[in-house]
Amino acid sequence: MHTTVFERHSVSESLIDESLAGSKNASFWVDDVEIPSLSRYAGTTHCDLAVVGAGYTGLWTALLAKQRHPEWRVVVLEAKTPGWAASGRNGGFVESTLTHGESNGKSRYPKEYDLLDQAGLDNLDAIEKTVKEFGWDCDFSRSGSLAVALEDHEVEWLKESADGEREIFLDQAETLQRVNSPTYLAATFSPRDTAMVHPGKLAKEMLRSVRDSGVEVFSHSSFSSLNASTEKVTLGLAGGEIHAPRVALATNAFPSHLRRYRLHTVPVYDYVLMSEPLSAAQKKSVGWTGKEGIADLANQFHYYRITADDRILFGGYDAIYHYGGKIRRSYEERPESYRKLASHFFTTFPQLEGLRFSHRWAGVIDTCSRFSAFFATAHQSRVAYAAGFTGLGVAATRFAADVMLDQLDGERTWRTELEMVKSMPMPFPPEPLCYPAVQATRAALDAADHNYGKRGLFLKTLDAFGLGFDS
Ligand SMILES: Cc1cc2nc3c(=O)[nH]c(=O)nc-3n(C[C@H](O)[C@H](O)[C@H](O)COP(=O)(O)OP(=O)(O)OC[C@H]3O[C@@H](n4cnc5c(N)ncnc54)[C@H](O)[C@@H]3O)c2cc1C
């Protein structure tokens, strides 16, 4: 069996213990900013659009709705506080891809891939423009990304994928000039396709602009029932009711209120560490002045980036599905995942030995079997629903908001006519089948990572049916 670089160069248990000793189990991003507390919904309201969920999907939907229809009364209901879930816990990679990468997009939507690729770039450009226009203070920078090869066979993959323009091949010396890690054998640099952002500041600034545009946003207002007549939809909450001719459901990994889509996503826990700020000497030892987002290439991959105040976020690798698909606070504490991440961090950057982690946290990803968002309508298109971003939704949520608004406007647009929008992913099997199926897939992915990336029969069969598990 082939070993990974993290197994060949593992680090001492005491180094891991010390690095994690003072860390807090909370997302750094929402610890670093204060998102205003809003009132709880009470009473009866009639509005033009009700949005459920105040993560990026819900906030983009509200903001773009007011741009399309300034006269509309728009209400957003949030079960906890805006941005508390995935939108306040992610890596802050704002990626242009709408299809979870080029190869997934090309294999699933070969005829429209070029259109989806351009739409993703336009979407990222539109986000950048909005950040500037609204003056969002969210550390947005179009710094690009590096895909780094840690094994010889991955160097070959990079040579094949590099086109010299969107993806520029860097040999080992060129890679180390950018970021200094003894694990790097080569990289590709993608200058246009990725921006980096502070996810908590982004949520806070989006909320500010949403409210400035006249949208009413309520915290701690979880809706529990949805009833539709021919004219309107009624959302029932503990504090009252909302009547609207249009409803957008932006609830991500949380159970879908359209029951028939409950099995189209599974909640998968992804784990993250955030370091303390690097000293000037530590920074010099790493380089990384371009502040590119970095990801490695195995099935079980890491993503990492450096913040505006020179902390390193290091996340990924484990992707944990719990039997029954519940979302629970207790699942956010998983010492073995944090210890693995700390170990892999110091294998990547041994020169940072002694650096400590200030925060550790987990977040839930809405994994779907095709890895990119799906779109559904119900009740004569009065209700629109988008989910399934599978760990790449910071930018794609804006595109999804536009799709939902097209659908709720009753318009046929180039977006609503896309194969990606009209088709649905295969649902996951119900329990007791789902858990063993996910475990078997994870084991097969791990086996491929230990066999020079070669996919075994089980994975090839899933590939043939367009099924998969990712984060
Ligand atoms: C650890 C982690 C790292 C990630 N890294 C990246 C990355 O670097 N780049 C990237 O592109 N993507 C990343 N993602 C994915 C990205 O964060 C998500 O795709 C995106 O934030 C989804 O936004 P959302 O608004 O759909 O979901 P969420 O932010 O999860 O918001 C959904 C909201 O709906 C609310 N809600 C649910 N049910 C109800 C109800 N009944 N009533 C009222 N409100 C309700 C919830 O309270 C929640 O606030 C990551 C995700 C995680 C967890």
- Ligand 1 centroid vs 264 CA: distance in angstroms? 16
Question: Token pair 């294998």 is at which residue?
Answer: 347
Sorted by sequence, the CB contacts under 8 Å of residue 68 that are 6+ apart come out as 405, 409
pLDDT of residue 60: 98
Whether the predicted pLDDT of 55 surpasses 90 = yes
Return the number of other C-beta atoms located less than 10 Å from residue 426's C-beta.
Answer: 14
- Ligand 1 centroid vs 365 CA: distance in angstroms? 7
Question: What does the alpha-carbon distance between residue 173 and residue 366 come to, in Å, rounded to a whole number?
Answer: 38
Beta strands 312-320 and 266-275 are antiparallel
- Comparing CA positions, the residue from 67, 60, 69 lying closest to residue 244 is 69
How confident is the model over 379-398, as pLDDT tens digits? Answer: 999 999 999 999 999 999 99
Closest Cα to atom 37 of ligand 1: 251
What percent of the chain is predicted at pLDDT more than 70? 100
pLDDT of residue 458: 86
Q: What mean pLDDT, rounded, does the chain reach?
A: 96
Question: What does the alpha-carbon distance between residue 161 and residue 183 come to, in Å, rounded to a whole number?
Answer: 20
Closest Cα to atom 35 of ligand 1: 53
Closest Cα to atom 40 of ligand 1: 222
How confident is the model over 219-228, as pLDDT tens digits? Answer: 999 999 999 9
| Residue 119: strand, helix, or coil | helix
pLDDT of residue 287: 98
How far is residue 446 CA from its own chain's centroid? 22
H/E element, 16: helix 13-20
pLDDT of residue 467: 79
Whether the predicted pLDDT of 51 surpasses 80 = yes
Closest Cα to atom 22 of ligand 1: 393
How confident is the model over 101-136, as pLDDT tens digits? Answer: 999 999 999 999 999 999 999 999 999 999 999 999
- Ligand 1 centroid vs 9 CA: distance in angstroms? 34
Q: What is the 3-state secondary structure (H, E, C) of 356-399?
A: CEEEEEEEEEEECCCCCCEEEEECCCCEEEEECCCCCCCCHHHH
Ligand 1: atom nearest CA of 305 is 8
Whether the predicted pLDDT of 13 surpasses 90 = yes
Whether the predicted pLDDT of 470 surpasses 80 = no
Query: Which tokens in the block code for residue 418?
Result: 């896309």
- Per-residue confidence at 464, pLDDT binned at 50, 70, 90? confident
Closest Cα to atom 25 of ligand 1: 55
- Ligand 1 centroid vs 99 CA: distance in angstroms? 17
Distances (CA, A) of 356 to 12, 336, 349: 15, 17, 13
Give the up-direction half-sphere exposure of residue 358: CA atoms within 13 A in the CB hemisphere. 14
- Comparing CA positions, the residue from 265, 257, 254, 227 lying closest to residue 243 is 227
Question: What does the alpha-carbon distance between residue 399 and residue 388 come to, in Å, rounded to a whole number?
Answer: 13
Closest Cα to atom 52 of ligand 1: 90
Beta strands 357-367 and 24-25 are parallel
- Comparing CA positions, the residue from 305, 49, 119 lying closest to residue 127 is 119
**CA quadruple 444, 448, 449, 453: dihedral positive or negative?**
negative
How confident is the model over 166-177, as pLDDT tens digits? Answer: 999 999 999 999
Question: Token pair 């939507």 is at which residue?
Answer: 109
H/E element, 427: none
Return the number of other C-beta atoms located less than 10 Å from residue 93's C-beta.
Answer: 23
Q: Using a 6 Å CB cutoff, which residues line ligand 1? A: 52-58, 77-80, 84-87, 89-93, 95, 222-223, 250-254, 270, 272, 315, 363-365, 389, 391-395, 397
Looking at the whole model, is its pTM more than 0.95? Answer: yes
- For a mutational test of ligand 1's pocket, the pick from 233, 314, 389, i.e. the residue with the most ligand atoms closer than 8 A to its C-beta, is 389
- For a mutational test of ligand 1's pocket, the pick from 392, 398, 403, 470, i.e. the residue with the most ligand atoms closer than 8 A to its C-beta, is 392
Closest Cα to atom 21 of ligand 1: 87
How confident is the model over 323-342, as a mean pLDDT?
97
| Residue 294: strand, helix, or coil | strand
- Ligand 1 centroid vs 27 CA: distance in angstroms? 13
Query: Which tokens in the block code for residue 167?
Result: 């993806």
Return the number of other C-beta atoms located less than 10 Å from residue 332's C-beta.
Answer: 18
- For a mutational test of ligand 1's pocket, the pick from 63, 201, 254, 266, i.e. the residue with the most ligand atoms closer than 8 A to its C-beta, is 254
Residue 315 DSSP class: E
Sorted by sequence, the CB contacts under 8 Å of residue 320 that are 6+ apart come out as 268, 269, 271, 331, 334, 337
pLDDT of residue 66: 98
- Ligand 1 centroid vs 437 CA: distance in angstroms? 24
Closest Cα to atom 3 of ligand 1: 90
- Ligand 1 centroid vs 30 CA: distance in angstroms? 13
Task: Please report, in angstroms and rounded to a whole number, the separation of the first and last CA atoms in the chain.
Answer: 25
Question: What does the alpha-carbon distance between residue 312 and residue 308 come to, in Å, rounded to a whole number?
Answer: 10
| Residue 416: strand, helix, or coil | coil
- Ligand 1 centroid vs 173 CA: distance in angstroms? 38
- For a mutational test of ligand 1's pocket, the pick from 30, 38, 64, 78, i.e. the residue with the most ligand atoms closer than 8 A to its C-beta, is 78
Query: Which tokens in the block code for residue 247?
Result: 């409803």
Ligand 1: atom nearest CA of 84 is 49
> Which residue type sits at 243?
H
Closest Cα to atom 47 of ligand 1: 79
- Comparing CA positions, the residue from 471, 401, 394 lying closest to residue 139 is 394
Question: What does the alpha-carbon distance between residue 459 and residue 465 come to, in Å, rounded to a whole number?
Answer: 10
How confident is the model over 335-390, as pLDDT tens digits? Answer: 999 999 999 999 999 999 999 999 999 999 999 999 999 999 999 999 999 999 99
pLDDT of residue 329: 96
Whether the predicted pLDDT of 471 surpasses 80 = no
H/E element, 168: strand 168-170
Question: What does the alpha-carbon distance between residue 121 and residue 171 come to, in Å, rounded to a whole number?
Answer: 27
Whether the predicted pLDDT of 408 surpasses 80 = yes
pLDDT of residue 465: 80
- Ligand 1 centroid vs 165 CA: distance in angstroms? 32
Closest Cα to atom 19 of ligand 1: 393
